[in-house]
Structure 1
């Protein structure tokens, strides 16, 4: 009988000692993702800085379209010269097409990098980020998330379920607080 009581006390004692460890093991870290550039675009689309960025993007695109049309016109002229058996004119047009195509590639690369840099600077303005981060914190805490990743800045995220994307909730809260909704 003493053995049974001693064994029971031992089992209960071990159970009490291990209980904190099992409780810790049962705690699950919830992870969320958020798309900060999407929030920026949707929330600040009416700001002067964003309008200026969009106008600059449109000007760059218009210039790219213009250069593309010029190259296409030169290609058409080259085909006509080749059909007329004017090889010197065709060669001259071919050189011009090559130069304009190379210029267009370089222009596109440079302007795309400039626009991306400007977009990043706009999205990283301290007042904007502070407001967004505060709202992310509120949503994450109210939803029970322990960690929130920016899906555009983190290359380590391979896959995520849309159910952990809190972008729309954060955006909705920001728009509501700003009186835009």
Structure 2
């Protein structure tokens, strides 16, 4: 009997490991290097094993994008729960999650966001998520100045992706402080 037949089958664990490895490859090496083979190797499964869980690279990317949106949702919900001020609460949470001052390196969401430019399915998923969030928080976060702050936060994602090796890092803490200040009613 081969080891494969003796190994305990844990499809949910394997699926999550594949997504985790895909996210790490995305952050470390970029979208162009996110291949089925690279993810399978990193997860310690065969290419066929990966394709059992995700029928194609597109399906893997869509699942990774959906997971990153769920993670972003969780971060935003936690930040909103800790914020006692209603006006701009969603925007402040969005900025904190986007700038990720307490994390090092770019968020997989930032790397995936580039793919929304060329992938209609991911663009639709992002747009649906974003519009639903804005609709849910329209009473507290519809002001134009809050929209500008969210656009600036998106620009930080772009900066993360465009930064060249050797460039000094952006001062995230200063940006965060200034952006949060802009969300306060005057």
- Global fold match (TM > 0.5): no
Bigger-Rg structure (1/2): 1
Structure 2 length as normaliser, TM-score?
Answer: 0.25
Which structure has the higher relative contact order (CA within 8 Å, separation 6+)? 1
Structure 1 length as normaliser, TM-score?
Answer: 0.25
Structure number with the higher strand fraction is 1
